[in-house]
A and B are shown apart, each in its own frame.
Chain A
Amino acid sequence: MPETMTTAAPSAVTLTIDGKTVTAPPGTLLIEAAKQAGIEVPSFCYYPGMALQGACRMCLVSIEKMGKLQTACTTTVAPGMVVHTENDEVRNARKAMLEFLLTNHPLDCPVCDKGGECELQDAVFRYGAAETRFMESKLHHEEKQFSKLIYYDWPRCILCYRCVRVCDEIMDVNAYGVAFRAAHSEIIPNRGEKLECEECGMCVDICPVGALTSGTYRYKTRPWEMNYTGTVCNHCGDGCKTTLSIRNNEIIRANNRDHSGINGEFLCVKGRFGWDFVNSQERLLEPRVRRNGSQAPASWDDALGLAVERLKAVIKEHGRDAVAVIGSNRTSNEENYLLQRLARSVLGTNNIDHHRTADYASLVGALTAAGAKDRHATMAEIASANSILLIGNDPTQQHPLVALQIREAVRQHGAHLYVINRNRIKLAERQAAVFAEVKNETEALASLIGDSPSGELAALREKLQAESDTVVIFGSEIQGRDVQRLVRWALALPGRTRFVALGDYANSRGAADMGLLPNTLPGYSPVSDVAASARFESVWGGSIPSKPGRNIREIIVDIDSGAIKALLVFGSNPAKTFGVSKETLAKLSLLFVADLFPTETAAMADVVVPAASFAEKSGTVTNLCGEVQALRKTMRKAGTRSDFEILLALARLLGAAWPYRTPDDVLREIVERVPGYSIALPHLLVGGAVPTRPEGAPLALERADLVFSSGDSLFTSGSVSRFSWALNAPEEARRPRGHIF
């Protein structure tokens, strides 16, 4: 959420707070002006970026020449104002408010989830009294389960209405209301007895006390018993920063604890609750090898040994192009880089691809060709945009952080949203200035940029051309040459047009950037580009095949035809995503799968090895805006190995001498060798998101069916969400996709 404060304008107001001279722009709230001067005014209901309530009265301060105390959260600065935040009157008022709050409060701190990180506890500790004069019996209402993931404990609620506002104003879901009145006022779901919402848990996160608690975290631990590690959500491509709270080697909770990074305090249901797949009982924990038709447990040595033995045999008998590799949308940049190095320089083939969920190659190619390689929008630039063109996709379902940024742009500074979509998506219904409901986004694009756009598209184009600055966001519907056309047309709009392609998963963009493509090296130069290849050959030794390899559709066809005999699959489930049949996969001499779970593909494998999840490894990922962030190892899962370790072992067994000892070693090579990735490492290390500027002249998209989105909903995440309790438990998860709350 953007800060409400702006930097001092020339017409700044000067006032005095606690004897300090303070200068602030006109319109600044007293509480913010005080904060700038290093003076904390306690507050509960005030929350930057949300509507003012004047409800908790904690922020009462005394202003000279005003008869009574005033709320610092609703009073704006005025010239010459003299404010006291620490005199007896103010201190007594604070103490009184806290005494009031505690009258009906259960004071069950010893068992409350919030104990230790509760704003009420902290305020009482700092400003309150040690004894109570309240002799009456406390009011009580029973706790309610608002949903499987969210519980409400009325007696603890201080009625600050943060939950109501975050859901309404920030999430645009409006799931909460207030019922009854006086001391019986309570927070209720707006649509019946239970919450009907996105289950993002923003309300739980923002609740200052233990009134709203998380269905996955409640009564499990005390905050001081956990370790905290900042990392990146592994679900969609938005790349939210998150802090995993770990106890006894188990994730207990996720929240973006310090509110830093591209997402502030935001996490969607997947980020906040859907990490539990990591703890799933169904995780693969030992390698398995197929012997006499069925898989049986094996040691790591046996499993990798068998895989390498078969690989060598296939290469010997059928040549290097009888081997193919399918990579992942979720593994780290370092792992992806090593995977394509394994394919290109160890196995000696360009038969490498992945499920492409957005056409990054075409976007980079088009921007490079137009001399506009810096026109990738950052996540923050979406929220600060004046105008946004959204073609295809449904960010509310598929890219919750992008959707939030779009809503914030509209809410905070009245940005204009233009939507072209075949469905009446929520952003179109709720935020769009112009919505063109079309049969097909590709045809609509042709019409939009053609000679005579039809209907709504004409109006949309006219308005766009009058905008000062536009961010263009598009889904997988726009691909190949259409990306080039869109880029060329949109760059001619007024201002610095910037672009975002919406790829499905945590490292969809990184997979493309790192060259998990049959015709493209890391950084988007074609494999046929001798100079580009030399960049890598000079450190890898040997030579990279210059002929483009098979794409994923061709790989599948050639498994069937018998031309491909060995397939290595890392963190991908082509049997489901591409509908590869068991019969086809059975034709392989070697199907090697590294995965977290016994997927449909893993079930057919000759060798399956248990891979580590995002929480169990270090490395970097690149979000759909091209921003690189660091994954940090938070825990270990006995029996698993990271893809990094697996790849290192395979390379060694295949006779390659790789110099890497840690993912950092690989990252340094990426920074040095991959065009656009020469990023500042210190920023990354402190948890920042570092933009990349890839450039290259990749070959044209080979065919249309290579780029498609899985169309996940808020509650699904490819093959992974099946193994999450939290993503299946909410009622809403069973609603038809696209259901608008």
Chain B
Amino acid sequence: MSDYESYLKGSPLEVQVISRRFRIPNITSIDVFLAHDGYKALAKALKMKPEEVINEVKNSGLRGRGGAGFNTGMKWSFVPRQSPKPKYVACNADESEPGTCKDRPLMEYDPHQLLEGIAIAGYAIGSHQGYIYIRGEYRYLMDILDRAIAEAYARGYLGKNILGSGFDFDIATHTGAGAYECGEETALLNSLEGFRGNPRVKPPFPAVVGVYGCPTVVNNVETLSNVPAIILNGADWYAKLGTPKNGGTRLFCLSGHINRPGVYELPMGFPLRRMIEEVGGGIPGGKKLKAVIPGGSSCPVLTADEIDVAMDFDSVAKIGSMLGSGGVVMIDEDTCMVKMALRIMKFYAHESCGWCIPCREGTSWLEALLERFHSGAGLATDADTALDVSYNMLGKTLCPLGDAAALPTISIVKKFRGEFEEHLKLGACPYERKAVAVA
């Protein structure tokens, strides 16, 4: 049944806020959830004014866990209070960023916490309908959520007149069909409405024109899962868990060349070096670390020399990368960085929605170029061409996927230029040669 031990290994360094109930048996059932403070935050929020709820979330320093790290309370405050149209909450459960698997346990091991967060968000912005948009590969999580939703309706935590407050709120789940791009908030809205999953022109932003042209808040699963704890324990308590402007904790997903891969809840600003060495147990086989992707495949890679950084949005941004989605990928010394760049580009060339020219053509071009280069048929101009093509995409695409493809490439070409030169000189991949020699 539960395979959580495979990726919820636990660590004494964890500060468990949103993961605190993960290991409670049968927590997905509403009775067990209620016995562990379940829906208390919703009850409390319903006694507050909607503006008070928004302010509490704003002051907590909760920032979007989907990747962009925008202040959540601020986003909610952009929704027009008076709207002739209905308003919506769309929970982004499309989790597809390579290296990222944190929304999964939140839905698998504490679905009611998410529903509670969505309902509070709905109350705060004056919405009566929430949607959970779940990636197609998470179909089994949708069943868990659907069961939890049914229970919440049966007990009056969803539906009409919740807890006698006069507030009505419904939640429905919707599954994607296997497109990374459908995690981008406006592509998600298109997909949710039944259209092709390409992004929309912004502005207008979803907070003003979202689902069916109505004001919509789009938030990540983890973001919304944090809301009940903030309401229960207060903005200050939450803010103090993290660093300035980076409130709370975060689920970090350690993967790649690491001894104890898994999902760990650590305070915002936790040092990356300790994360690798103490939480993750270091690099397998005593090998040396070569590089780290700090926040999912869309981020510029860090070299082994750059890991003395606090893992919060602002600190990572300061050294030229991003905290992103919390997917921390370790890369050891035996990894070919050209191949790494190629592998990443294969993903984006496959997942680009194809809507806009620079991303559609750029990812396909870079994939072909890197493929050829890595195979040994590189030209002396290729590394510069790859850089230039990436810069021609950067900041020029309709949605950030183009940047997401360009940034890691730029960082790899720049930081590991030597490996490109080696490929050129050898006319082959030095790492694959080594492998052959060893065998």
Contacts and interface: CB of A to CB of B under 8 A. Distances in A.
Interface in A147-169: 158-159
A183 B201 contact: no
Contacts of A181: 179, 181, 351-354
A589 interface: no
A135 B357 contact: no
Contact of A135 (B179, B351, B353, B372): B372
- Of A52, A178, A183, chain B has the most CB atoms within 10 Å of the CB of A183
A92 B388 CA distance: 11
Q: How large is the interface on B (under 10, 10 to 19, 20 to 34, 35 or more residues)?
A: 20 to 34
Nearest to B385: A133
A133 B387 CA distance: 12
Interface in A310-327: none
B78 interface: no
A52 to B, nearest CB: 5
A60 interface: yes
Given A69-B395, A136-B365, A74 B201 contact: yes
A101 B365 CA distance: 11
Contact of A97 (B179, B351, B357, B368): B357
Contacts of A183: 349, 352, 354, 360-361, 363-364
B150 interface: no
B353 A57 contact: no
A1 to B, nearest CB: 20
A136 B356 contact: no
A182 B369 CA distance: 16
A139 B351 CA distance: 17
B359 to A, nearest CB: 8
A382 to B, nearest CB: 28
Contacts of A96: 358, 392, 396
A264 B360 CA distance: 33
Interface in B359-396: 360-365, 368-369, 372, 379, 381, 385, 388, 392, 395-396
Q: Which residue of B179, B354, B381, B385 has the most chain A CB atoms within 10 A of its CB atom? A: B354
Contact of B352 (A55, A57, A99, A182): A182
Given A134-B365, A136-B369, A182 B395 contact: no
Nearest to B179: A181
A261 to B, nearest CB: 32
A57 B356 contact: yes
Interface residues of A, number: 37
A100 B372 contact: no
Contacts of B4: none
A224 interface: no
A350 B206 CA distance: 71
B364 A97 contact: no
Contacts of B198: 178
Given A136-B369, A183-B349, A178 B196 contact: yes
A133 to B, nearest CB: 5
A145 interface: no
A471 B244 CA distance: 65
Contacts of B363: 182-183
Contacts of B388: 133
A353 B356 CA distance: 60
B355 interface: yes
A379 B280 CA distance: 74
B398 interface: yes
A259 interface: no
A111 to B, nearest CB: 23
A134 B366 CA distance: 10
Contacts of A180: 354
Contacts of B349: 182-183
B125 to A, nearest CB: 26
B349 to A, nearest CB: 6
Contact of B360 (A68, A133, A182): A182
A158 B360 contact: no
A135 B379 contact: yes
A57 B398 contact: yes
A134 B392 CA distance: 14
A81 to B, nearest CB: 15
Given A54-B201, A96-B392, A182 B357 contact: no
Q: DSSP majority for the A interface? A: loop
A158 B353 CA distance: 14
A57 B196 contact: no
A55 B395 contact: no
B360 A60 contact: no
B96 interface: no
Nearest to A44: B357
A92 B181 CA distance: 27
Given A97-B357, A100-B358, A100-B361, A68 B395 contact: yes
Contacts of B381: 133
Contacts of B369: 135-136
B124 to A, nearest CB: 30
Interface in A165-221: 177-178, 180-185
A96 B395 CA distance: 12
B414 interface: no
Nearest to B353: A181
B183 to A, nearest CB: 14
Interface centre among A92, A137, A185 (most CB of B within 10 A): A185
Nearest to B369: A136
B365 A100 contact: yes
Nearest to A100: B361
B350 interface: yes
Interface core residue of A52, A56, A100 (most chain B CB under 10 Å) = A100
B397 interface: yes
A185 B201 contact: no
Contacts of A182: 349-354, 360, 363-364
Contact of A104 (B353, B364, B372, B395): B364
Contacts of B385: 133
Contacts of A53: 201, 355
Given A57-B396, A74-B201, A103 B352 contact: no
Nearest to B382: A135
A37 interface: no
Interface string A311-346: 000000000000000000000000000000000000
Given A101-B361, A103-B361, A93 B354 contact: no
A100 B366 CA distance: 11
A600 B5 CA distance: 87
A375 B333 CA distance: 84
A64 B382 CA distance: 33
A104 B364 CA distance: 9
Contacts of A135: 369, 372, 379
Contacts of B355: 53, 55, 159, 185
Contacts of A104: 361, 364
A55 B395 CA distance: 14
Contacts of A54: 201, 356, 398
Nearest to B403: A68
Given A135-B372, A136-B368, A139-B364, A93 B396 contact: yes
A698 to B, nearest CB: 52
Nearest to A99: B392
Interface in A59-109: 60, 67-69, 74, 92-93, 96-97, 99-101, 103-104
**Most chain B beta carbons < 10 A, residue from A93, A96, A159, A177:** A96
A52 B355 CA distance: 12
Interface string B44-72: 00000000000000000000000000000
Contacts of B365: 100, 103, 134, 136
Given A182-B360, A183-B354, A183-B363, 16 more contacts: A55-B356, A57-B358, A57-B398, A67-B395, A69-B396, A93-B396, A96-B392, A136-B368, A136-B372, A159-B360, A177-B196, A180-B354, A181-B179, A182-B354, A183-B360, A184-B354
3 nearest CB pairs, A to B? A185-B354, A136-B368, A183-B364
10 contacts: A52-B201, A60-B396, A96-B392, A97-B396, A101-B357, A133-B385, A134-B365, A136-B365, A158-B357, A183-B349
